[in-house]
Amino acid sequence: MGTPARSGLPVTISVDGIAVTVPEGTSVMRAAAEAGIMVPKLCASDNMEAFGSCRLCVVEIEGRRGTPASCTTPVVEGMVVHTQSDKLRRMRKGVMELYISDHPLDCLTCAANGDCELQDMAGNVGLRDVRYKAPEDRSLVNHFATRDGAGINALYVPKDESNPYFTYDPAKCIVCSRCVRACEEVQGTFALTIEGRGFDSRVKAGAVSDDFLTSDCVSCGACVQACPTATLQEKSVIELGTPERSVITTCAYCGVGCSFKAE
């Protein structure tokens, strides 16, 4: 849940009828959270800059046209925000429907079952059915097409299990880019990038490497922690299941101060 630039001056706005005072420039999403209202989100996270890609956090603002993303919209004095309406509910449901239409429906056997933000948001927006047909062959969700002079070449991207600590499963990726931003903003490594467009887009480790192990990845785990699905998953969780408790701790190895989850 990153925030746009702030002037620091306090402003008061209304979110669903609740008055809340926050520093000018705070994101509408953050202001809503201050008012005790959680706006659905997927691409935003508390420790990174707002990105505005998933469009799940749309809100209505009186006097403004359209439905802006609350994570990238800064508050101004007197703003009146509505986070709930039939229109917003329809939009969020439509967004989630598109995400789920291209996602494996294996929640019950997935290592992230019960600890998956995609699953949580599907429940949050009340998604029960998906109108769009999934590929008959679920392996097609792994597909990645490249275009060259000869036309379109469909490649099937397998799981990347090269890293000793975590796996990367492109079939479960929603391309929210949280891992890419965590690698840049939290770790400062720039090992990940997004490649391709639309259904063909995917996270890639490094510009020239074929997998995480041979990329610039330093195995800090920031990407795994940022991932809202089971795309990037610790091997220990896959093998042993989700731990009953975990704590966020800070690595003492060097002065960077990387935080990670200890289980």
Positions touching ligand FES (CB under 6 A) are 41-44, 52-57, 69, 71
* Smallest separation, CB 133 to ligand FES (Å): 25
Nearer to ligand FES (CB atom), residue 59 or residue 220: 59
Which secondary-structure segment (H or E) carries 121?
helix 117-124
Nearer to ligand FES (CB atom), residue 51 or residue 166: 51
Residue 229 DSSP class:
S
* Smallest separation, CB 40 to ligand FES (Å): 8
Nearer to ligand FES (CB atom), residue 41 or residue 204: 41
Length of the chain: 263
Nearer to ligand FES (CB atom), residue 15 or residue 54: 54
| CA–centroid distance for 58 within its chain | 15
Nearer to ligand FES (CB atom), residue 57 or residue 186: 57
Nearer to ligand FES (CB atom), residue 57 or residue 232: 57
* Smallest separation, CB 252 to ligand FES (Å): 33
* Smallest separation, CB 121 to ligand FES (Å): 10
Nearer to ligand FES (CB atom), residue 182 or residue 220: 182
Per DSSP, the chain holds a count of helices (H) and strands (E) of 6, 12
* Smallest separation, CB 224 to ligand FES (Å): 20
* Smallest separation, CB 65 to ligand FES (Å): 18
- Contact criterion met (CB below 8 Å) for 157 and 143: yes
Residue 215: CB partners within 8 Å, gap ≥ 6? 191, 192, 205, 206, 209
Instruction: Provide the 3-class DSSP secondary structure of residue 146.
Output: strand
- Contact criterion met (CB below 8 Å) for 58 and 40: no
* Smallest separation, CB 132 to ligand FES (Å): 20
Q: Which of 101, 109, 110, 171 is nearest to 140 (CA)?
A: 171
Q: What is the DSSP string of 190-208?
A: --EEEESSGGG-EEEESSS
Helix axes 86-101, 117-124, angle to 10 degrees: 140
